[in-house]
Amino acid sequence: MKVIKLLALFLFTLGTLNAQRIGDIANVIGVRENQLIGYGLVVGLSGTGDGSSSEFTLRSLSNLLQTVNVKIDPNDIKSKNIAAVVVTAKLPAFARQGDKLDVTVSSIGDSKSLQGGTLLLTPLKGVDGKIYSLAQGSLTIGGMNGKEKGQINHPTSANIFSGALVEREIEYDLHGQDFINLSLKESNFNTAISIQNELNRNFSKKIAVATDSRTIKLMKPADLSMVEFLALTLDVNVKYEKEDKIVIDERTGTIVSGVNIKIDPVVVTHGDITIKIEANPLFDDDNKSVDIGGDVKIATNENQIKLKNDSMTVANVTRALSKLGAKPKDIISILENIKRAGAITAKLEII
What pLDDT does 71 receive?
Answer: 84
Mean pLDDT of 39-61: 88
The pTM is what? 0.70
Q: Is 3 helix (H, G, I), strand (E, B) or coil?
A: helix
What pLDDT does 267 receive?
Answer: 81
- Report the C-alpha gap between 58 and 144 in whole angstroms: 29
Long-range pairs, 43-46, Cβ under 8 A, ≥24: 43/81, 43/82, 43/117, 43/118, 43/120, 44/81, 44/116, 44/117, 44/118, 45/80, 45/81, 45/82, 45/83, 45/111, 45/113, 45/114, 45/115, 45/116, 45/117, 46/81, 46/115, 46/116
- Report the C-alpha gap between 47 and 83 in whole angstroms: 10
- Report the C-alpha gap between 144 and 311 in whole angstroms: 42
Q: Where are the domains of the chain?
A: 34-166, 174-239, 245-350
Q: 136 pLDDT band (50/70/90 cuts)?
A: very high
DSSP result, 160-218: EEEEEEE-S------TT-SEEEEEESS--HHHHHHHHHHHHHHHTS--EEE-SSSEEEE
- Report the C-alpha gap between 299 and 278 in whole angstroms: 12
Q: 226 pLDDT band (50/70/90 cuts)?
A: very high
What pLDDT does 292 receive?
Answer: 59
Q: Is 10 helix (H, G, I), strand (E, B) or coil?
A: helix
Q: Is 2 helix (H, G, I), strand (E, B) or coil?
A: helix
The DSSP output letter for 332 is: H
- Amino acid identity, residue 187? S
Higher pLDDT pick, 15 / 62 = 62
Q: 14 pLDDT band (50/70/90 cuts)?
A: very low
Residue 181 has pLDDT above 60, yes or no: yes
Question: Angle 314-323/328-340 helices, nearest 10 degrees?
Answer: 140
